[in-house]
Structure 1
Amino acid sequence: MPQSLASVNLHTIFSTKNREPWLRNANLRADLHSWMGGVVNTLGCIPIEIGGVSDHVHLLTTLSRTLTIADFVKETKRVSALWLKERSADFRAFHWQAGYGVFSIGQSQKDTVIRYVRDQEAHHRKRTFKEEFRDFLDRYEVEYDERYVWD
């Protein structure tokens, strides 16, 4: 086949460093999610849904066939952190956590994940980020050591 084709959907999750609630302001969060969508586009990927709450974000995106997952997350985190820091001196100490979680999403799961990302505020009235993230790791059968998951 002379052409390289791919269809990869990713659900990426990462938190603020130490899960600090830096993103409490709903308007700021909406602006950040929109900005992150632009970053995703710039990387040659398609933002499908971006959402989150005060201490973490969820991105449902496609992944360009020429980009690694690590580079996608690194650049998205880097540029969005810079954007926050440039927006206000209040964000000088802002950092994302060092790690992240990425889960592959089939086409048949896409609508469910879109709803899940949109409904983050409702989900987190009942459970913490740690509970949510552990659930994803378990559901996707990701082996992990609890000592190294949180920062």
Structure 2
Amino acid sequence: MPQSLSKLYVHIIFHTKYNQPMILPEVEKDLYAYIGGIIKENQSIPIKIGGVKDHLHILAAMSKNISLAKFVEEIKRNSSRWIKTKGSEYKNFAWQGGYAGFSVSPSVLDRVVRYIENQKIHHQKQSFQSEYLQFLEEHQIDFDEDFLWK
């Protein structure tokens, strides 16, 4: 078979540096749209982007031509540059150094979309830190908590 074929769904989570509440309502929708454009520029398909003031969730179908690390780097680098142009309150905006990425089965795509859509409601009951730790533990990812929140 001379062609390479794939369909890789990924759920990506990352937060603002030091969990600062810097994703303000006045830029939130435009930020998500901008990130959707970055995803498309990387030959990938944005499915759902959402979050709250201190973190994002992205569900995308990733291109076979880019690594997850490079994909997230492109999203974070370009969106950080963009948001800094939106006002003086964003001049110190930065994303955390790392990220979490999880493969998603096509059978649960709708559930992940609903989860991302309901972030504001979800975080009235559970903190981001608790949510993030739960994701890491459920996916059996080894981590050093000293480095998670920077």
User: Same-fold call, TM > 0.5?
Assistant: yes
Deviation per CA, 1:61-107: give whole Å up to 9, x if none. 01100100010000100000011011212211100000100000010
Partner of 2:3, secondary structure, is coil
Identity of aligned residues (%): 39
* 1:18 aligns to 2:18 (yes or no): yes
Q: Which residue of 2 aligns with 1:126?
A: 125
Alpha-carbon shift at residue 24 of structure 1 (Å): 2.9
1:44-123 superposed matches below 5 A? 44-123=43-122
Report the TM-score, using the length of structure 2 for normalisation.
Answer: 0.97
Deviation per CA, 1:23-79: give whole Å up to 9, x if none. 132x41111011100110011100000000000000000110010001000010000
**5+ long unaligned stretches in structure 1:** none
**5+ long unaligned stretches in structure 2:** none
* 1:32 aligns to 2:28 (yes or no): no
CA root-mean-square deviation: 0.8
Q: Name the CA distance, whole Å, in 2 between partners of 1:142 and 1:73.
A: 18
